[in-house]
Amino acid sequence: MPTQKQPTQSPATSPVARKQKKPPAPPSPERRAELLGIAAEVFAEQGYNATTVRKIADAAGMLAGSLYYHFDSKESMLEEILRTFLTELWDGYDAVLAAPLGPRETLEALVTESFREIDRHRAAVAIYQKESRHLVTQTRFEYLLESQRRFEKTWLTTLERGVSDGVFRADLDVRLTYRFVRDTVWVAASWYRPGGGHSPEEIARQYLSMVLDGIAVRA
């Protein structure tokens, strides 16, 4: 006895296909995106677990229950936030990787692209940093693992290419270097404020300068 069939029982009485009753109107994508943005802010600020749906609703100027018109659950909001971010992140990375660049230029482009993503998805990045570790244990978030593996492979390959080509130092532990660069870049999301003094490109340049040449004055 499917719930949705109910309207079909008396279709003759209503010849005009009037808006279905149960999902009265597919919640507008714009509103969804708006609400997800708000939710992401709160998640990033307070942590996913510490964020109650009531806090999100407050921030959105509605009541907690009303969110369920737009989303299945609190978790699905989180999922959509992270998935959206990762999708766009890989769009950017893929564009970089498709270009015929040397290892050093690739690294520079990846870092720059990363800061651009931080600029656009600051909240999502912050959430990712804080929550991904324990989310990956849930089947629903397995795609995080895939992304992580691809990410690691991308960076390791780039670094190794650089070492082979003689543009990166060979005396460093590549895994350690990978973590070093990765953390260095992404942790910025915890303090970066879009619209602050620095553009993503500027920050990228400074970071690259440090990472590539070090902070010590050359002998």
Partner DNA sequence: CATGAATGAGGTTTCATTCAT
Partner DNA sequence: AATGAATGAAACCTCATTCAT
Cβ density class 70-105: b for 16+ within 10 Å, e for less: bbeebeebbbbbbeebbeebbebbeebbeeeeebbe
Task: Please give the radius of gyration of the chain, using alpha carbons only, rounded to the nearest integer.
Answer: 23
What is the footprint of a copy of itself within residues 178-217 (CB under 8 A)?
A: 179-181, 183-184, 187-188, 190-191, 198, 203, 206-207, 209-217
Q: How far is the CB of 126 from DNA (least distance, A)?
A: 18
CB-nearer residue toward DNA: 69 or 180: 69
List of residues contacting DNA (CB under 7 A): 3-4, 24-28, 31, 51-54, 57, 62-66, 68-70, 72-75
CB-nearer residue toward DNA: 54 or 149: 54
Cα 206–Cα 187–Cα 91 angle in degrees, nearest 5: 85
Cα 7–Cα 30–Cα 74 angle in degrees, nearest 5: 75
Could you give the CA distance from residue 55 to residue 60 in angstroms, rounded to a whole number?
Answer: 9
* Partner from DNA, a copy of itself, none contacting 75, C-beta within 5 to 8 A by type: DNA
Q: Tell me the one-letter amino acid at 96.
A: V
Q: How far is the CB of 152 from a copy of itself (least distance, A)?
A: 11
Residues that bind a copy of itself (CB under 8 A): 45-47, 49-50, 104, 130-131, 133-134, 166-169, 171-173, 176-177, 179-181, 183-184, 187-188, 190-191, 198, 203, 206-207, 209-218
